[in-house]
Amino acid sequence: MMTRRATFGLLGAPALLGACQITAVHGDPSAANFGPTAFHGRFVWTHSSPRFGGFSGLHLAENGRDFWALSDRGTLWQGRFTRGADDAITRVDVAQIHVLKGRDAAPLPRSGADAEAIALGRDGTVFIAFEGGAQARISAYAMPSRAGRDLPRHRDFSAFAANQSLEALAIDPAGRLHTLPEAPQADGFAVFRLDGGAWSVIGHIPQRGEFMVVGADFGPDGNFYLLERQFRRALFSTRISRIQPGNWASVQTLLQTQRGQFDNHEGISVTRTQAGRLRATLISDDNFNWFQRTEILEFLLP
C-alpha cells in the first residue's frame, strides 16, 4: 500500500494545527483477502488537543465528506474529509469540537459522559447513546452546543452491565431509532426500536463466536449493517455484517479481519462512493493509550 501523507487543519483555530498520515500496518492491507469486501483505504488521524481520542461513534453525510465523530469522553467532533482521485481519504479538517452538555446545560460529568454511538435525524437532531449501567440512556441534541434531552428508557437499559450496555445507534429509512447493547442476552443481541415514544424489542441477532456489538448503521440500500469486535490481549478483530430489517436472525458476514490486523474499531457509517459503490467507513477508539491510534478504515461492500 502506498503511504499517504497529509496536513491536518482545524478550521478557524490555527493554534491546533498538527500533522497526520497514513502508514502501512502489518504489511499491505490492500493485498489482504477480505472475501467479498474490498479494502479501500486507511488513514491515521492525529491531533494536538488533549481531548482527542476515544472515538466510539461516526456519522458520515451522504456526500462522503462531512462527518461527526463521537468521543467516549463526551466530545463531538465536526469536520470534513478531503478525498483524492481514487476517492480515498487524504486529509481531515475539523470545524468544531463540541463538549456535550446535560439537561442543566452544564458539561457532562466524567461519570455520565461515556458516549458510545451517534445517529443524525432528518431534521439535524443529533442522537447519542450513553452507556454506564443505571445511566445508560439516549439523548437528543437539537444543537450539539446546547443542553441534551434524555429520551424515554426501556426497562432493560438499566439492567445491562455498566461497560456492556448501549453501544450501537441507527436510524432506519422511516426515521425510527434502533439501539443494541454490547453484550448478548439469552436470545442473542436485542434490537430495540423507538416507536411513538416507547421502546420495544423487535428481534434478536444471534451471537456468533466471541464478537460483541460496537456499532451499527442503516445503509443507503435500506439494509442494517452491524459492526462487531473481538479482542484478546489488546489485539482486536473486526467484523461487518449485513442484515435485512425484520429478518434479524439471518446474518451475512461481509468482512472479518485478523486479530491484530487493525486497531479497536467501534464506529461505522455506510454511504456510497462517487461511483455508486457501498462503502463502510470505520473509526477506532484508541482508549487514550499511547500504543493505540485513531484509525479510519474504508471498505467497499458487495
pLDDT higher than 50, residue 91: yes
Looking at residue 273, what is its pLDDT?
A: 97
Q: What is the mean pLDDT of residues 72-87?
A: 96
DSSP 108: P
Half-sphere exposure (CA, 13 Å, Cβ side) for 148?
26
What pLDDT digit, counting tens, does each position of 235-284 carry?
A: 999 999 999 999 999 999 999 999 999 999 999 999 999 999 999 999 99
Looking at residue 30, what is its pLDDT?
A: 60
Using pLDDT thresholds of 50, 70 and 90, give the confidence band for residue 59.
very high
Report CA-CA distances (Å) from 32 to 1, 26, 225, 255: 11, 10, 22, 11
Least confident segment among 26-35, 132-141, 196-205: 26-35
Q: What is the mean pLDDT of residues 64-79?
A: 97
Using pLDDT thresholds of 50, 70 and 90, give the confidence band for residue 6.
very low
CB 33 within 8 A of CB 293: no
Q: What is the CATH number of the domain that holds 89?
A: 2.120.10
Containing domain of residue 94, as a range?
5-301
pLDDT higher than 90, residue 16: no
The DSSP bridge pattern shows strands 38-45 and 294-301 to be antiparallel
Taking the C-alpha atoms of residue 193 and residue 177, their distance in angstroms, rounded to an integer, is 6
- Look over the chain and give the mean of its residue pLDDT values, rounded to a whole number: 89
Using pLDDT thresholds of 50, 70 and 90, give the confidence band for residue 10.
very low
Using pLDDT thresholds of 50, 70 and 90, give the confidence band for residue 7.
very low
Using pLDDT thresholds of 50, 70 and 90, give the confidence band for residue 61.
very high
Task: Look at 223 and 16; give whichever has higher pLDDT.
Answer: 223
What pLDDT digit, counting tens, does each position of 170-219 carry?
A: 999 999 999 999 999 999 999 999 999 999 999 999 999 999 999 999 99
pLDDT higher than 50, residue 5: no
Task: Look at 6 and 46; give whichever has higher pLDDT.
Answer: 46
Looking at residue 28, what is its pLDDT?
A: 63
CB 302 within 8 A of CB 242: no
CB 59 within 8 A of CB 77: no
CA 295-229-132 angle, to 5 degrees, is 95
Looking at residue 12, what is its pLDDT?
A: 31
CB 237 within 8 A of CB 256: yes
DSSP 170: E
Using pLDDT thresholds of 50, 70 and 90, give the confidence band for residue 19.
very low
Number of domains in the chain: 1
Residue 19 corresponds to which cell in the numbers above? 500533522
Using pLDDT thresholds of 50, 70 and 90, give the confidence band for residue 11.
very low
Q: What is the mean pLDDT of residues 8-27?
A: 34
What is the model's pTM?
0.90
Q: What is the mean pLDDT of residues 48-56?
A: 95
